[in-house]
Chains A and B, each alone.
Chain A
Amino acid sequence: QVQLVQSGAEVKKPGASVKVSCKASGYTFTGDYIHWVRQAPGQGLEWMGWINPSSGGTNYAQKFQGWVTMTRDTSISTAYMELSRLRSDDTAVYYCARERLMVVTANGDYYGMDVWGQGTMVTVSS
């Protein structure tokens, strides 16, 4: 079945970097964008950016430009999200999600994030 499996929980000190992986299976990895979304404890969802696994092209939310890097390794169908210069308020669950073209209509193309990873808890603490 189609799934995204993320790497395990991480504990980091302030100022360090963290790299989270997201391994895709059950579909053509290069066919759909992968997004990264984070959720601080008790808070809502925050979009971080996407990567096009086919080209490696990326688009980051303005807030994260300069300190997030999204990459991929097509040989193992895995996307990565690296966040540098970690602070305590980066403590969150980080999710990857596949964005799929759901349907093409006369009114336009409809997309949705239809498959999500299980989430990776990143704790930043001294």
Chain B
Amino acid sequence: EIVLTQSPGTLSLSPGERATLSCRASQSVSGTYLAWYQQKPGQAPSLLIYGASSRATGIPDRFSGSGSGTDFTLTISRLEPEDFAVYYCQQYGSSPSYTFGQGTKLEIK
């Protein structure tokens, strides 16, 4: 099973700053199935990025995804107050199995 490790666990930043979140896989992941989700308190997760770098419908262009192989990154160019949440990466493995990273909490500094 592919293990996804996200870092940092918690990221403290101010609105307007740039956020860089990392997701590292224990073995190579096809970029076609690496996704990022945002979860706000008390809400279900929502899809941000699919295919490592494609924004889901309605997602602002301040969100961008990149990476390949074992290293993937979610970047938020200028943080808005509504961006403070928990972010998860997710992969679909070579066997039909899905795993999530443990999450990065983005909090207001």
A residues at B contact (CB < 8 Å): 35, 37, 44-47, 50, 59, 61-62, 95, 97, 102-103, 105, 107-114, 116-119
Contacts and interface: CB of A to CB of B under 8 A. Distances in A.
Contact of B103 (A44, A103, A112): A44
22 contacts: A35-B98, A44-B100, A44-B101, A45-B39, A45-B88, A45-B103, A47-B97, A47-B99, A50-B98, A59-B97, A62-B1, A62-B97, A102-B50, A107-B32, A108-B30, A110-B51, A111-B35, A111-B50, A111-B92, A113-B37, A113-B47, A114-B57
B3 to A, nearest CB: 12
* 5 nearest A-B pairs in the assembled complex, by CB-CB distance: A112-B50, A110-B51, A108-B32, A116-B44, A47-B98
B54 interface: yes
Given A112-B51, A116-B45, 12 more contacts: A45-B90, A46-B100, A47-B90, A61-B97, A62-B1, A102-B56, A110-B32, A111-B35, A112-B35, A113-B35, A116-B44, A118-B44
B60 interface: no
Contact of A102 (B30, B54, B102): B54
B77 interface: no
Residue of A46, A102, A109 with most partner-chain B CB within 10 A? A102
A65 to B, nearest CB: 11
